[in-house]
Chain A
Amino acid sequence: MEQRLASTSRMTVNERKFVETALASDLRVDGRRPFDYRRLTIKFGRSVPVYGFTASATEDGSSEVQLGQTHVIGFVTSQLVQPYRDRPNEGTLSIFTEFSPMADPSFEAGRPGESAIELGRVVDRGLRESKAVDMESLCVVAGKSVWSIRVDLHILDNGGNLIDAANIAALAALLTFRRPECSLGGENGQDIIVHDPEVMEPLTLIIHHLPIAVTFAFFSEGNIMVIDPTHKEEVVMGGRMTATVNSNGDVCAVQKAGGEGVTPNMIMQCLRIASVKAADITSKIKNAVETYNTERTLRKVKRHSSTVTHQVSVPDVITKDKQAENIIRHQEEMIHHEPDRISNCDDEMTVDTRTCIKTEGNSRDSCTDPFVGGPSNWDPYLNKLSSNLVGKSQDLLGPLTIGKEQQEESKSNKMAVENSPEYATISSNSETLGVSGPRQQTDVAKSLKDAVKSKARKKSKASATTR
């Protein structure tokens, strides 16, 4: 009994009184104003390089959110299951929460306590009742097989306001989650084939809007209200209310579990404030997700190594559609890299993409050294990618990746494409880019080589072998 007494966190009467007196003069203990949120940081999963030839086991669908001192991790996984009887053509979404004992002395391992269940319920209601995640697109075979999306929320550190942080973590994870592409096949056309992410690009979930939970804490008989309470304020507060709204101004859910009574005027004011805050947080989440997606696409785009030589502008040699696609895509890259490319292309028509993006002077001779590309100010992926380009490159990635395994013995050096500083918040391993880089690009090279005239091919082969 004494051990337990010794390990719980305590509040002194001094602190209680002080928090209330400070709030009476609109001051919060950490220096914030009553309607200020703490600093929000959203990070995404790191991609783990699998040594060898597969690109990487990407952690799509995992997010790490820090709201001040509160730390939450969200993780999304999917599975094919049988649908519910009354909804045969809809997928399912389930939220699981885990309050790790390292987050707070009062959390215990094992069965989730009351607050854990409440948190899961609030996040779940915000997503499900407002139909934020499109369920019908998760159906594969109506009545037989649908995708079941499972969101796991782990609380790592309780600094107050777990509901908001967990909600943001769930949304960020859902926005970056990709489920495998599947199609019907087999003998009778009824079997479901789930395609490997390497073979076919996995798909994002369709999310219509982002329901953001905003928590209010009430003090001194409901007269004083603050947003985003810290742990100390939560111990002292008289009541709490969570309003889940989206940036369109729709109220998705409201949760008030016990505590002091609050006047209707106060509640309306809370909802108004919540919609303002929701717009702000939505834009933050969207920016973070966009940066992550951009960086992910950047990782997928394979750069050419210097050992590969092929014709640059050979529009008339196109015979097969596949090569045409490759060349078109290649030319799109050319267009963007043109300023430098023109200066670098010499008579041999050697395309060295890496010289286009590096800013230091790595000479051609050092092509066997590992490539380190500095941030380039005209790199197309630094600015917003046009969705066209992204879509095309993603479509083309499909057929391109098939020939990957044949390139194992290729001459490639490791290229490490350095992330630009903007992606600093996106945790990704730059080595993975290197591993995946050269192979894809040599694959492209091979298919372009086929299109090239035999004379040039012999010359390029010779120069390739010398390098």
Chain B
Amino acid sequence: KRHRPLRRSSICFASLLCSYAINPQETLTSEMNAETSDAPPTSLVDRTVVPGDTVLDLTAMANQTIKLGAGLRQDCDTISVMKAGKLRLSKPNKYWVESSHKRYVPCVEDTVLGIVVDCKPDNFLVDIKAPTLAFLPVLAFEGGTRRNIPKFEIGTLLYVRVVKANNSMNPELSCMDETGKAAEFGQLKDGYMFETSTGLSRMLLSSPTCPVLEALGKKLSYEIAVGLNGRVWANASSPSTVILVSNAIMNSESLSGLQQKIMVEKLMQRLQ
């Protein structure tokens, strides 16, 4: 059996090459394993799993590349779950576990909403609901030079992108995209920010559009910025619209699509 050691970062999937010679004895044991192990992997996809669940039996899949994401780990012959959540599969071969938390673990290429906590000579210290504060270099803005450093006061809300995320260092942010353009990053003015869970943020960012946002958009005009760290910013022309939008989004986490639509209609009726 030859297994490449598993190297994982939260966004990049690790490749696992399973190719090995199966001798008759192993066939027997693998068959037994297949019988005694949990249901075939496809039936656990999109279902809630808990740590310890066996997701895949590698002996049954030879010469395949499987990519593992967050929450999964390889235990010799099997792939087992490390984090509680929903198992997801992206065809053909990417598996990961999705869960919803109030705290955020920074990963590279995430777009998040941060609050400026302090200004240093070459960094802004920004709070992104991670275990440690993140650094935003003073020059990480489009056309940023030492001459035109932006002045952010403490408490400014920023829409930023995570550039470096190691669990041993402070995360690093940037207000530019890869090509160096501003691309909507930067300070968010006016509006109202509220905090939710990471699962709700992902739901709001999913495509097709989340039902609650669609239902709100049919009657109201508003704009929102969703950070993967659980922060959402909403803005509209009148405060009542903003309050309506924020309350609708906050209530929608545990509702199904249809329930979300009904909830939004009820809220709007109450206002009129």
Contacts and interface: CB of A to CB of B under 8 A. Distances in A.
A31 B192 contact: no
Interface string A2-28: 110110001111111110011001011
B187 to A, nearest CB: 10
Interface in B107-138: 115, 117-118, 125, 127, 130-133
Contact of A10 (B155, B190, B233, B242): B155
Contacts of B117: 5, 10
Q: Which of A2, A3, A18, A30 has the most CB of B within 10 A?
A: A18
A145 to B, nearest CB: 51
A5 B239 CA distance: 31
Decide if the interface of chain B is mainly helix, strand, loop or mixed: mixed
A11 B239 contact: no
Given A5-B118, A18-B242, A25-B240, 18 more contacts: A2-B125, A2-B132, A5-B117, A6-B133, A10-B127, A10-B155, A13-B153, A13-B155, A13-B156, A15-B192, A21-B239, A22-B242, A22-B243, A27-B240, A28-B243, A29-B192, A30-B247, A31-B244
A31 B244 CA distance: 8
B189 interface: yes
26 contacts: A2-B125, A2-B133, A5-B125, A5-B127, A6-B130, A6-B131, A6-B133, A10-B117, A12-B155, A12-B156, A12-B157, A13-B157, A14-B157, A14-B188, A17-B190, A18-B190, A18-B191, A18-B192, A18-B239, A22-B242, A22-B243, A25-B240, A27-B243, A28-B243, A29-B192, A31-B244
B246 interface: yes
Interface in B85-122: 115, 117-118
A12 B115 contact: yes
A16 B157 CA distance: 12
B34 interface: no
**7 pairs of A and B residues whose beta carbons are closest in the complex:** A22-B239, A18-B192, A12-B157, A13-B155, A10-B115, A12-B155, A6-B133
A266 B193 CA distance: 31
B243 A29 contact: yes
Nearest to A10: B115
B239 A25 contact: yes
Given A5-B133, A18-B190, A31 B247 contact: yes
Nearest to A2: B133
Contacts of A30: 243, 247
B66 to A, nearest CB: 36
Instruction: State which size class the interface on B falls in.
Output: 20 to 34
A11 B130 CA distance: 16
A12 B233 CA distance: 11
B236 to A, nearest CB: 11
Contacts of B133: 2, 5-6
A22 B188 CA distance: 18
Contacts of B157: 12-14
Most buried by B among A21, A30, A31: A31
A14 B132 contact: no
Nearest to B153: A13
B239 A27 contact: yes
Contacts of A25: 239-240
Contacts of B156: 12-13
A31 B243 contact: yes
A400 B243 CA distance: 60
Interface of A: 2-3, 5-6, 10-18, 21-22, 25, 27-31
A11 B190 CA distance: 13
Pick from B117, B133, B233, B243 the residue with the most CB of A within 10 Å: B243
Contacts of A31: 243-244, 247
B191 to A, nearest CB: 6
Given A5-B133, A21-B239, A27-B243, A14 B127 contact: no
| Residue picked from A5, A13, A25, most chain B C-beta under 10 Å | A13
B217 to A, nearest CB: 20
Nearest to A30: B247
A21 B242 CA distance: 11
B154 to A, nearest CB: 8
A449 B246 CA distance: 69
B267 to A, nearest CB: 8
A14 B243 contact: no
Nearest to A13: B155
A15 B232 CA distance: 12
Contacts of A5: 117-118, 125, 127, 133
Contacts of B127: 5-6, 10
Interface in B161-204: 188-193
Nearest to A12: B157
A15 B133 CA distance: 21
A28 B239 CA distance: 9
A159 B68 CA distance: 40
A312 B131 CA distance: 72
A14 B191 contact: yes
A30 B242 CA distance: 11
A2 B171 CA distance: 13
A6 B240 contact: no
Contacts of B242: 18, 22
Interface in B195-236: 233
A3 B132 contact: yes
A17 B157 CA distance: 12
B156, B157, B190, B192 interface centre (most CB from chain A within 10 Å):
B192
A29 B246 contact: yes
A224 to B, nearest CB: 13
Contacts of B188: 14
A14 B239 contact: no
A355 to B, nearest CB: 43
Nearest to B242: A18
A363 B246 CA distance: 56
A232 to B, nearest CB: 9
Nearest to A22: B239
Contacts of A12: 115, 155-157, 193
B234 to A, nearest CB: 10
Contacts of B233: 14
Contacts of A15: 192-193
Nearest to B118: A5
Interface string B230-272: 0001000001101110110000000000000000000000000
Contacts of A27: 239-240, 243
B221 to A, nearest CB: 17
